[in-house]
Amino acid sequence: AITISGLKKRKVDTGAPPSPIIPPKRSKASPEQVVPEPRGPGYPAPSPPVFVRKMRNAAVGTGCDIRLKVTVVGDPQPSLYWYHNDDLLNMENQEYGGLWIRDCKPSDAGLYTCIANNHLGEARSSAVLAVLDLGEGNISKYTPNSTCI
């Protein structure tokens, strides 16, 4: 084995910029410190749900169709849960942001609520739907799919 004594370590300036992959100094995260997930350019910052279009109160005739619609933003994309008078609705075969109520009956009247949530928060939008019995003679002036709230 060869031993060389009397040498000192010194930093050699190569003129190259520091590596973007290797951090110049590693630091430890304290338990209170949140380390954000790295995101590339063009990705939105994580955010809680916000309704940019809320439901509005509406009235519809018996036998008609109506679509309750909301527009919600958030990252990650919020999950939507729809309720009718505090009962969770089955949202199979429904599009994101919309709830179709087909062939409305008086039992469909009531308070509808959409709850949007992701791991950063929750938001709600509610509206009242009235279902009117228009009688046989008046129902023909209402066409299915004519109302969107």
- pLDDT for the residue 44: 74
* pLDDT for 131: 97
pLDDT (0 to 100) of residue 94? 86
Which pLDDT score, from 0 to 100, does residue 91 have? 87
Distant-in-sequence, close-in-space partners of 54: CB < 8 Å, separation ≥ 6: 70, 125, 127
- Which pLDDT score is estimated for 37? 59
The confidence score (pLDDT) of residue 42 equals 73
Residues 6+ apart with CB under 8 A from 23: none
- Please state which CATH class domain 47-135 belongs to: mainly beta
Q: What average pLDDT values come out for the chain (149 residues) when binned by 10 residues?
A: 50 54 50 54 86 97 96 97 96 90 97 98 98 68 45
Domain locations in the chain? 47-135
CB 99 within 8 A of CB 89: yes
Instruction: Tell me how crowded residue 49 is: count the other CB atoms within 10 A of its CB.
Output: 22
CB 39 within 8 Å of CB 23: no
Task: Write down the residue that tokens 């004519």 correspond to.
Answer: 146
**What was the pLDDT predicted at 38?**
58
